[in-house]
Chain A
C-alpha cells in the first residue's frame, strides 16, 4: 500500500489561497491575487496528476481490483462508537478521476480569468471565491463519508451563490444567485433526510462500509418498508433528490439557466464542468448500494436523467442567449450521465453504463468548459450574450472559431473526438438494458448535434452585424486554455476508461459496438446537416419551421413555462395560503401574547412605583413596622 497522505494538500492549498487572498488581497495589486490563486491551483493540479499517474499506472490494480484507500482520516464528531463523522481523504478510481477533472478545468479557468476579468472591480474577490470553490469541490470528491460530502456539498453551494452573485450591483445577478441557492438548498433537504435515514438504518456514514458488498446496506434491504419500497430505497431516492438539485435535473433544473448571470469563467467551472456533476458523482459514489440494494431507486435515476436530457435538449434549440443554450446543453448532457448510471448494472461488463457515465463526465467537463470559455471570448469581443448580435465572427476570431468548432463536433459525437467514445458507450449500455431510454438518448444525440451547430453557425457564419468596434481575437492568456482544452477534448476519448474506472474496480474490455456507433454518428450528421441548411446562410427557413410547429416552438422558447409554474405555486399558493396565515398567526397571536406579558409588567410597576418615594424616614418606618410584626410573630410562636 502506497502512501497517499500528501493528497491532503490538494484541497488545503486552495483553502490557504482563499484565506490569503480573501484577507490580504486588497493590500496588493489585483494581479498579485490572480497569480497567487493560479499558482496555488497549479500546485494542486500537479499533485493531482501525480496521484492519478501513481494510482492508475504505477500502482495499478491490486489483485485485479483498484483499491479504495483512506489516505487520511480523523474523527471529527463522535455520536456512538460506530456512528461518527470523520474528515478525511478517500482515494479510489472516481475520486482520482474527479481530482484530475477539477484541477484541470479550474486551472484553465484561473488562467483564462486573468485575461477575462482584467480590470474588473473585485478581481481579488473573484480569485478568492474561485479558490474557495476549488477547495470545496476537491473536499467533496475526496470525502470519506457521506456527511463530510454533505458539508462540502453545502460549501460548493455557497461558493456557487457567491460567484453567481459576483456582479452584486446587477439585480438580475442577485436574483439568480438567490434562486440557485434556494433551489439547491431545498434539494439538499432531501439529501439530509436521505443521509439520516441511511445512517439510522445502517449505523454508518462511511462510504467504504456503505458500498462494500457484505456491508450493512446490502444485508439490511429487508425490514421496514413504505409504499412497497424498502427504507434503503427511500433513503437513496432522497439522496438522489439532493443530487438532482445540484445537477439541475428536472424538476429542480430552474436555477441553472439563471446561474449564467455569473461571470463566464465561473459558468465554465461551476455550472458546466464540476459542481453540476456532483449529483452524478454522488450516485456513482453510492453506486453499489443503488445497483444491488435499491434497483428501484436506480430506475428513478435513469428515468429522471433520460427525461431531463430530452427536455433540456428541446429547450436548447430555441434559446437566443448563447450561454443559456450551453446551460441547457449542460443539463441535457448531465441527464445523459444520470441515465447512463440508471441503466447500469453492477460488476464487470454489466457495469458498462457506470463506466460510460464517468467517461462522459470526464470528456464533457473538457469540451463543455471549452465551449463556455469560447463563449466567454466571444462575449468579451461582442459585448452581448445574444446570438442575434453575432454573425460572421470566424474572420475576426480564428482561434476561438477553430476550438469552438472542435468542441461542437465533440459534443455532437463525431469520431474520433472524445464525445463520440463516451456517448457511444452510454448508448450501448442503454440499448442493452432499457430500449426506451436508448430511444431517448438516440434522439437527444441528434438534437444535440442540431442545436450546437445552430449555435455555431449563428455565431461564426451568417452576416456580419453592426459591432461597436471590430471584434478581435482574445489575448493569449485566454486562447491558451482554449487550445489546451481543445487538445483534451480531441484526445481524452482515447483514454482506456474501462480499464480504469469501473463499477466494481475491476478492469474489463469495452468494445465499440458498430450497431450503436454507426446510427449515432449518422443521426449526429443529420442534425448537423439540418443546422447547416437552416443557419449557415441567412434564410427564412428557420422562421417557416418555427411557424409550422408554433405551439412547440413557443413552449420551448419559454422553457415550457416552468419558471412561471414555480412562481405561481410559490407566490399564489404557498405564499398566499400557507405563509400569510402563518405570518398573521405570528403577528396576532404569538407576538400578542408576548406584548400582553410586557404590558402587565409595565402597568403593575407604574401602579406600585409610588412606594419608592425617596423619603428616608418612610423607608425606616416600614422597616420598624416589619421588625415589630416579626417580633410579635416570634413571641407568639414561642409562647404557643
Chain B
C-alpha cells in the first residue's frame, strides 16, 4: 500500500491546514473568484479526510472513496454555477468585489 509507514495523523494535519486556509481565504478575500477557489480548498480537505479515514479504518470497503467522487462531481457543478453567477454579477456591477455588491442590504 502506498500509504504504508505514513501515520493517519499526517493526512489529518494536511487536511486541517487546507480547511482553515480555505476558511481564511473565504473570509478575507474580496474577489469572488478567489473565494470560489477557497471553497474548492475546503471541499478538497474534506475529500482527503474521507479517503484517509476510509483506507485506514475500513480498508476493505469503498464508501469513503465513492463519497469523495460524488463531492468532486458536485464541486464541479457548483463551480460552473458559481462562475455563471459571477459573470452575471460582473455584467451588472462591472466588478466582482464582494463589498461592492451589497444591493440586498436593508
Contacts and interface: CB of A to CB of B under 8 A. Distances in A.
Say if A and B assemble together.
yes
Interface of A: 609-610, 612-617, 620-621, 624
A617 B28 CA distance: 8
B105 A621 contact: no
A624 B99 CA distance: 19
B27 A617 contact: yes
A620 B26 contact: yes
A233 B39 CA distance: 86
A614 B104 contact: yes
B106 A616 contact: no
Contact of A613 (B28, B30, B105): B105
Contacts of B26: 617, 620
Contacts of B4: none
Contact of A615 (B23, B28, B99): B99
B9 interface: no
Contacts of A610: 106
A203 B26 CA distance: 77
Contacts of B103: 614
- Measured as residues with beta carbon below 8 angstroms from the partner, the interface class of chain B is 10 to 19
A620 B36 CA distance: 13
B45 to A, nearest CB: 14
A617 B98 contact: yes
B84 interface: no
Contacts of B98: 615-617
A614 B98 CA distance: 9
Given A609-B106, A610-B106, A616 B101 contact: yes
A385 B23 CA distance: 95
B25 to A, nearest CB: 11
Interface in B51-106: 98-99, 101-106
Given A615-B99, A616-B101, A624-B23, 5 more contacts: A609-B106, A615-B98, A615-B102, A617-B30, A617-B99
A574 B98 CA distance: 67
Interface string B7-43: 0000000000000000100111010000000000000
Nearest to B99: A615
A568 to B, nearest CB: 59
A613 to B, nearest CB: 5
A617 B100 CA distance: 12
B41 to A, nearest CB: 14
Nearest to B23: A624
Contact of B27 (A609, A612, A613, A621): A621
Nearest to B105: A614
A610 B102 CA distance: 13
Interface of B: 23, 26-28, 30, 98-99, 101-106
Contacts of A620: 26-27
A620 B26 CA distance: 8
A621 B24 CA distance: 10
23 contacts: A610-B106, A612-B105, A612-B106, A613-B105, A613-B106, A614-B101, A614-B102, A614-B103, A614-B104, A614-B106, A615-B99, A615-B105, A616-B98, A616-B101, A617-B27, A617-B28, A617-B30, A617-B98, A620-B26, A620-B27, A621-B27, A624-B23, A624-B27
A610 B105 CA distance: 9
**Which of B30, B103, B106 is the most central at the interface, judged by chain A CB atoms within 10 Å of its CB?**
B106
A611 to B, nearest CB: 9
Contacts of B102: 613-615
A615 B103 CA distance: 9
Contacts of A617: 26-28, 30, 98-99
Name the residue among A612, A613, A616 with the largest chain B CB count within 10 angstroms.
A616
A609 B98 CA distance: 20
A212 B39 CA distance: 89
6 A-B pairs with the lowest CB-CB distances in the bound complex, closest first:
A614-B105, A614-B102, A609-B106, A616-B98, A612-B106, A614-B104
Contacts of A612: 104-106
A615 B106 CA distance: 11
Contacts of B23: 624
B92 to A, nearest CB: 14
Nearest to B28: A617
A620 B101 CA distance: 15
Nearest to B29: A617
A535 B101 CA distance: 97
A632 to B, nearest CB: 16
Contacts of B101: 614, 616
A620 to B, nearest CB: 6
Contacts of B106: 609-610, 612-614
A99 to B, nearest CB: 72
Nearest to A606: B106
A617 B101 CA distance: 11
B84 to A, nearest CB: 17
A400 to B, nearest CB: 80
Contacts of B105: 612-615
A620 B24 CA distance: 11
B87 to A, nearest CB: 17
B42 to A, nearest CB: 11
Nearest to B26: A620
A610 B104 CA distance: 12
Contacts of A621: 27
B36 to A, nearest CB: 12
Nearest to B30: A617
B105 to A, nearest CB: 3
B88 to A, nearest CB: 15
A614 B101 CA distance: 8
A613 B98 CA distance: 12
B24 to A, nearest CB: 10
A617 B30 CA distance: 8
B32 to A, nearest CB: 9
Contacts of A615: 98-99, 102, 105
Nearest to A612: B106
A471 B28 CA distance: 101
A525 B81 CA distance: 106
Nearest to A627: B23
A620 B30 CA distance: 12
